[in-house]
Amino acid sequence: MRIGFIGVGAMGKPMAQNLIKAAHDVYIYDINQAVVAELASRGGLTAATPKEAASRAEIVITMLPNAAIVEDTMTADNGILAGGNPGLTIVDMSSVAPRTSLKMAALAKQRGFQYADAPVSGGVAGADAGTLTIMVGAEPDTFRQIEPVLQILGKKIYHVGPVGSGDAIKVVNNLLLGVHMAAAAEALVLGAKAGLNPEVMLEIIKESSGRSYALEAKAANFIFKGNFTPGFAIDLQYKDLELAVETGKNLGVPLPVGNLAQQIFEMSRAKGLGREDISAVIKVWEELTGVQVRTG
């Protein structure tokens, strides 16, 4: 199949590589020319603009940082909507708000294109291994068309409902991740200040009711080692909390815990930690209390 792939960063690059390995013709566009050249040297094809990628493809996948960039990539003069042939299917796998996908899907429909939102969970490791969890909002026919391609990228593919519903569940999931990470950070600092050994704390919490993915994924591998290379960057988690807050406002749902978690990540951004892994949020509490939760 001919696939356009736009946005080959931490996530998009390994995803595009997996499509190339599966013998698809992948037309790649990114503003970062170096990564496009690297993928071209491994069997990828290049496109000079999103419009060109769309004009060559049956399916165009986008994996971009945020909604503003997704909208621009779709609607600009050199964008996807300007270049697609009739019957094109656009699959946005970026994390954006449901209303962004609803707006883009309506524009796509006017041009005779199908549209799906298909955000992912599983991080760079999951993108690399082709084991992402993918949450799809699409018409049933569109889902059937894109499912074989998504199966190359992920292990669990869910058709959640119509356009926007993939984004909705992703927003809910990442609201929980942000809240759990912020809570894990302050809890670990409390334990360290009380004199507990970090490894003992983790071992016991993992078998107790305070356990969470944030703690299990981020304590031993990141915090205890003092390794804060993303992973999943604080700036992206902050954006995902913004998506939750924005969606809550649109729907009239108060999210006091989510808003507070966003402010905690704002504190870490103010400290210049935006590009570090989400586990680096612990540095805010470590600095305030004068303890570090490290082993070795």
Q: Interface residues with ligand NAD (CB under 6 A)?
A: 6-12, 29-32, 35, 63-65, 69, 73, 94-95, 120-121, 123-124, 232, 236
Buried b (16+ CB within 10 A) or exposed e, 31-60: eeeebbeebeeeebbbbebbbbbbbbbbbb
198 vs 231, beta carbon nearer ligand NAD: 231
103 catalytic, yes or no? Answer: no
Give me the least distance between CB of 240 and ligand NAD, in Å please. 6
Q: Which residue is at the shortest CB distance from ligand NAD?
A: 9
Give me the least distance between CB of 12 and ligand NAD, in Å please. 5
- Sorted by sequence, the CB contacts under 8 Å of residue 232 that are 6+ apart come out as 123, 277, 278
Give me the least distance between CB of 103 and ligand NAD, in Å please. 16
How far apart, in whole angstroms, are the C-alpha atoms of residue 68 and residue 46?
23
How far apart, in whole angstroms, are the C-alpha atoms of residue 135 and residue 137?
7
Catalytic residue among 13, 103, 170, 239: 170
Q: Look-up: residue for tokens 């018409």? A: 139
160 vs 201, beta carbon nearer ligand NAD: 160
Decide if 163 contacts 101 (C-beta within 8 A).
yes
Give me the least distance between CB of 196 and ligand NAD, in Å please. 29
154 vs 198, beta carbon nearer ligand NAD: 154
Q: Is 138 left (phi over 0), alpha (psi -120 to 50) or beta?
A: beta
Beta partners for residue 114, in sequence order? 89
8 vs 189, beta carbon nearer ligand NAD: 8
Active site residues: 170
